[in-house]
A and B are shown apart, each in its own frame.
Chain A
């Protein structure tokens, strides 16, 4: 009999083992929920799956009686817009500053300390300032995401740009390249897949900042809805929303990963 560290599950075994914890969580929830509901049918803390399904149907497929909106989709659209805008601008700024500080020693000497300093400021502590400066509208929520993740992306890309083998920088110069061409033909293409990586890593924080900002000041959005219905202990709304946010996060991450693998095969080959 082989030692445990040398035994590999087959493909079926791996799928079943992976699914097992999910099934267990659902079972535990199901039994706890039925127990509470048996004692008090009006219990709101652990709603039955059927109740949650009804709520989701109402939120997703019936227009709101007051506003005429489909609440779930309106919330999703509002949140995704903020997320896309915030992450998009942060990625662009990260790319520009990451490459500039990574490739050009003079820019690095000038900007690196201040970027490190800014990255140490807890973004949530800046939220009141953002609300004061940018008002309670979209801008301050997007700004929180930008301020929250841009320093990380810049520092990560600066490091990646510095990792480009010196041989390649020299090689390009011997082929007649000037500084700008080195940035455009060597640094930028090599940094792009790493930018996607950095964005994937920072998406978790981006969601955190988004939901926090929405919780405090918003009129729609996934985070706003969760914190709104909290007052009524509407777990039948909160739990499906949390699952939905998780699913969205997973899908975005998955799409970015597949895109990167398709677009930059050479990068993923070198990562193995």
Chain B
């Protein structure tokens, strides 16, 4: 059964249609990369996946049931910024999920359980390449290291779905390459289902297994909110098709210009 299923999903804010007629299904273990111009509902879609926004029409199903209408442990997330707790060291950030589960009232673990969580956290930090920084606070880490930490923190909860909201948007190109490798490795070893939003079309073109392009195929320049964005391309990733990339880039750029 599909892990995520969209049946004619719409999202409207008053008279403005953000997304319309979304129909798709995603199997467990897929890595969906979502690209599109600003204002084409990528973030709105992510919020619906997360549960902070609800569709106004249609059905948005997780494992065949309506997706929960608030964030919970089934869906982990890494934002572009502010993903980790600034008041906790790297190690404590990664231990957080386990500590919250260990004690419903205090949210802290003690004794044997704490030692065990610390070992697990150390192992996870090693896996994302932060083994040497376990005692550092987030403000002492670089942007790339903070995102590694955010990934480690999210993965400790073993979410069914991992959401990445432009996680590498603020990073230098070289570091971005390393992060791609890391994400692909984690996706393979932890058998995750991943949705990643990105601004960078090329990133979407070779990362993951499936590319979604959000675009407005009907666009009234006098009333940009009249029609919503749809999934205009749903492509398997892997074939290196320069022509398709060019076409999509041109279309997304047109929409971006019309909306700005």
Contact = CB atoms under 8 A, between A and B. Distances in A.
Contact of A185 (B50, B84, B100): B100
Given A174-B73, A174-B157, A167 B87 contact: no
Contact of A170 (B50, B99, B105): B50
Residue with the greatest number of chain B CB neighbours at <10 A, chosen from A173, A174, A189, A265: A174
B50 A176 contact: no
Contacts of A174: 50, 71-73, 75-77, 154, 157, 159
Interface string A174-193: 11111011001110011000
Interface in B81-117: 81-88, 96-97, 99-101, 104-108
B185 interface: no
Given A184-B106, A266-B139, A175 B86 contact: no
Interface size class of B (residues with CB under 8 A): 35 or more
Contacts of A70: none
Contacts of A172: 85, 96, 100
Contacts of B105: 180
B139 A165 contact: no
A269 B136 CA distance: 13
Contacts of A185: 85, 96, 99-100, 107-108
Contact of A175 (B73, B81, B140): B73
Given A167-B79, A170-B52, A175 B100 contact: yes
A165 B87 CA distance: 13
Nearest to B99: A185
Interface string A149-183: 00000000000000001011011111111101100
B258 to A, nearest CB: 30
Contacts of A168: 82-83, 85
Given A178-B104, A181-B104, A185-B107, A171 B139 contact: no
A264 B139 CA distance: 12
A270 interface: yes
Contacts of A269: 137, 139-140
A267 interface: yes
Contacts of B154: 171, 174-175
Contact of A173 (B71, B79, B88): B71
Interface residues of A, number: 25
Interface string B58-85: 0000000000001111011101011111
Nearest to B80: A167
A190 B76 CA distance: 22
Contact of A176 (B82, B97, B106, B138): B97
B141 to A, nearest CB: 11
Nearest to B150: A171
A168 B93 CA distance: 12
A170 B77 contact: yes
B153 interface: yes
A252 to B, nearest CB: 25
B157 A175 contact: yes
A186 B85 contact: yes
A49 B42 CA distance: 74
A173 B154 CA distance: 11
15 contacts: A165-B81, A167-B81, A171-B77, A174-B75, A174-B159, A175-B97, A175-B153, A176-B72, A184-B106, A185-B99, A185-B107, A185-B108, A189-B88, A269-B139, A270-B86
The 7 closest A-B pairs by CB, nearest first: A173-B71, A165-B82, A181-B107, A167-B82, A176-B73, A269-B139, A175-B97
Interface of A: 165, 167-168, 170-178, 180-181, 184-186, 189-190, 264-267, 269-270
